[in-house]
Amino acid sequence: MEVIGDLPRELFLEILLRLPVESLMRCKCVCKYWYALISNPKFIELHLKYNCNNNVCVLLKRCLLTCLGERENMLSLVCSSGFSFINLDVDLSLYKKEPCLQLLGHCDGIICLSNYRDDIVLCNPATRETMVLPESCLPCYSSISNLIPQTSALGFGYDARTHHCKVVRIVSYWEERSGSGLPHHSRVEVYSLATGSWKELNVKVPAHVWYSPCFETYFNGAFHWYAIDDNRNEVILSFHMGNEEFQVIPMPSALSLYDYSMCRSLFVWNGRIALVIYPRKGIEKSFQIYVMKEYGVRESWTKILTIGPLTKVEMPLAFWKNDEILMEGSDGLVVSYNLKTQELKDLPIYGVPKSFATLVYINSLVSVKGGNRMLDGDNTGENVSTPVTFFFSSLQIIKTDDLLLKSLLLLHFPCLFR
């Protein structure tokens, strides 16, 4: 059995896999061997799989008021243990004061951010790595003079065929003086991390994306939006990241007629698409939950339960731990509703009302640039001895509360602790 320091290789890897990303970023600074191992795509994949099974969090975007009364965006992680939360030190300089900042999806620890007007940003909050996507391949004007282009939809998800993430963008062209309420036509482009570029798709968009709070959702290899078809029926428009095709999914038959007084939100719950219907206004609100038991089949929509009426609750934010729903309170306080006990619990998380957005999130080492740079030469860890090259001072590395990391450093480099 191969031994690394005083530890068998298998045990050494098991310890590393259990470390949080912040600790692993410190470990990369210890020596060439650790750097090569942690940068290895196979290790990154194993670490991601471990976190998928053990460390799922909720990423929360909210606005806070500064002492000058200005709004600033903040990203926070809500953890499963005791609903603790931490604020993330992520560079949001591009969108720090943007009131319409949207979380467009999550893929292997990478999130997509945009305000639908300016740049689209990919960000790994754990590694603090960010990347602004290149300019669109679609022209900023229309060949028809009286049409105005506007980004109507953005989505972000994983392509299982290429094993890379993609961003999809729908641009709609509106007539200047049209009373139809629907765009003249739309064009579609896709950005792939595999190629690092945009391409236009020769596809027809079968429905028109409309806004509905907390609706945009990635599930089952496809991104989903709330939409209206040409007959003005409510539908779910999905875009499959693999075959790059659209699909129209009908709403439950009970919702065939649009009611402006009711909101629709879409989530993933217990491995299925869940639709939540609730009043747009009111001191007391009830929340009806429908589940689509067979994906894409209208007849499979089933009403599972009704929550409430609840007071001082605005809207659902995320299904959490299978039996919890994070919700926004009317006073800007985040609350959690337990489906089993029917108890409502206040969480110590505040923000400007109606500024919240959430994603179910997993910390990872995955790069936003679509790859992981390796050291030159044979650095797979098979033939590298433990002599070290330090890139940071010992004090920097040891200043951590992670007991696993301290134990690992103590086993390999006891001189640092003398």
**Region 305-313 average pLDDT:** 90
> What confidence score (pLDDT) does residue 236 get?
94
Give residue 99's identity as a one-letter amino acid code. P
φ, ψ of residue 149 in degrees (nearest 5): -80, 145
> What confidence score (pLDDT) does residue 256 get?
57
Average pLDDT of the residues of the chain: 79
> What confidence score (pLDDT) does residue 385 get?
34
> Which residue ranges make up each domain of the chain?
11-54
Band (pLDDT 50/70/90 cuts) for residue 267 is very high
**Least confidently predicted of 80-84, 134-138, 298-302, 390-394:** 390-394
85 compared with 102, residue with greater pLDDT:
102
Query: What share of the chain has pLDDT > 90, as a percent?
Result: 25
Highest mean pLDDT pick, 30-44, 299-313, 371-385: 299-313
> What confidence score (pLDDT) does residue 379 get?
36
> What confidence score (pLDDT) does residue 68 get?
80
- pLDDT > 60? residue 289: yes
Whose tokens are 């679609």? That residue is: 138
C-alpha to C-alpha distance for 23 and 390, rounded to whole angstroms: 16
The DSSP secondary structure of 291-353, one letter per residue, reads EESSTT-GGGEEEEEEEEEEESEEEEEEEETTTEEEEEETTSEEEEEETTT--EEEEEEE-ST
**Region 208-227 average pLDDT:** 90
